[in-house]
Amino acid sequence: MLAPEQILHAAMILSVESEDGIDEGLISQVQETLECDSEDHEAAMSHIENHRDDGDWGGRRDAVLHRSRERIREAMDNNSLPSAGPLADELNGLVGEETDDGEVDPFAELGVVSGGGGDSFGGNAVASNDPLAQFMDGGDEEEEDLVDGDGFLASDSSLSFDGDVVEDVVEDVVEDVVEDVVEEQEAEATPVVEEVEEPPQEEQPATAPNAAYEMLMSTCWIDGILDPAEAKLLARKREELGITFEQHLEMLQSMLERSS
Amino acid sequence: MKAENTPFWHALELAWCSDGALSLHSIRLLDAMQNMIGLSNSDRAEIESRFEEDVVYDLTRAGFGCGDQALAAWVGTLTFLDDPASYDVSKAMGKAAMQSGLSIERWIASHSWMSQLGLGRPYAEGVWLEGEEAGEIARVPALLVPVAKTIGLIDQDE
């Protein structure tokens, strides 16, 4: 489920990149519908200005636009935005600007496919440039997610995160990680079922969120600094994953001990 | 807890470092401080051993332990721990630290410091936005000035 500010962000990107430039009237309607405040609007606009790069988006224009369209479609599908009426028509116009031959999936073009198999850390250039890539194994669209999410990242590999960006990216990452960890545990458990006593079923979901949360926590300090957006994201994830603050502190402590 | 990032280490610095000597008055003040913050004998011993190795051996004596005055003033600030607002202030300081951008090193140092004062929990809550949102910190209490410098809320020169 996308956060309202993510949807607003996507709409603003598409509007900015449309032929006529940003339509503030449309954006105001979207903002109002999503109940986003002016701070969200300013943050999104600031981010766009910082990363738009005259429309090139650091060489990821197509990926950024593609992801933005997907987000608007998803928002309309889940009724975060109206799927009928004048606003829906305008949004469809915005989303519909995608042409059949205009969209280029840079990963497909490069022949990059998801890691799958056993190479957890991927072997492609895109993944190896990004510290977050280690969390991107196994899924169908992780690399695309990385770039699409990163469509909002700086184009260089130094990962100059701003608050909204990192929240955007790591939120996608943690969801993938949760799924991956559960899948891996299930996959590992399957072959030994006949030889080893089957572990209690309830243990798996109890472990997975913790592992995912710990990985998310490590990504939040990947640039060396904890910022408000990261702390906010972790607080929200604790709540979502049912992780107590004591568990958080314990995980943090063990993470720091391992890294020292 | 990292010995060098604790209030007791700071107290030892005050006691020793002005003239390279430790007065009897300072020893009594350190005892008083130990009691006030509930520091165990073993933890105190560990900190003092480290302090001797890292600091005292390199000092050159130039007096009779006149650091006791600064130490007395410092120990006096421990009354903040009895202030009902200490929890909220610590939480607010955690939030302020996070908002100014908190590195791993600063987190470790500051949390270690606050923990020895029994304020580690509210400070952590402020940093990690746990529970009710912390307020803004209006003024840093004297007891927390050294740690406020560590996390960059106050200039080192002030």
**Residue A77's pLDDT band (boundaries 50, 70, 90)?**
confident
Tens digits of per-residue pLDDT, B3-62?
889 999 999 999 999 899 999 999 999 999 999 999 999 999 999 999 999 999 988 888
Residue A51 near residue A152, CB atoms below 8 Å:
yes
**Could you tell me what percent of chain A has a pLDDT over 70?**
56
Which residue in the set B103, B125, B129 is minimally distant from A232, CB to CB?
Answer: B129
Tens digits of per-residue pLDDT, A160-174?
344 455 555 555 655
The torsion angles phi and psi of B103, rounded to 5 degrees, stand at -80, 165
Sequential DSSP letters for A64-119: HHHHHHHHHHHHHHTTSS-SSSHHHHHHHHHHTT--TTT---HHHHHT-----SS-
| Whether B63 contacts chain A with CB within 8 A | no
Which residues in chain A are closer than 8 Å to B131, comparing Cβ atoms? Answer: 245
Most confident of A20-34, A60-74, A84-98, A134-148: A20-34
Which residue in the set B98, B125, B130 is minimally distant from A226, CB to CB?
Answer: B98
**Residue B158's pLDDT band (boundaries 50, 70, 90)?**
low
CA neighbor of B27 nearest in space, from B87, B83, B68 = B68
CA neighbor of A33 nearest in space, from A1, A11, A65 = A11
Contact check, Cβ <8 Å, A256/B102: no
Chain B: closest CA distance from residue A163 (Å): 11
| Whether A173 contacts chain B with CB within 8 A | no
| Whether A69 contacts chain B with CB within 8 A | no
Average pLDDT over residues A210-226: 87
**Per-residue pLDDT, A110:** 39
ipTM over 0.85: yes
| Whether A228 contacts chain B with CB within 8 A | yes
Which residues in chain A are closer than 8 Å to B108, comparing Cβ atoms? Answer: 256
Residue recorded with tokens 């073993």: B42
Which residues in chain A are closer than 8 Å to B128, comparing Cβ atoms? Answer: 231, 234-235, 245, 248
In chain B, where the domains are located: 3-78, 86-150
**Per-residue pLDDT, A221:** 81
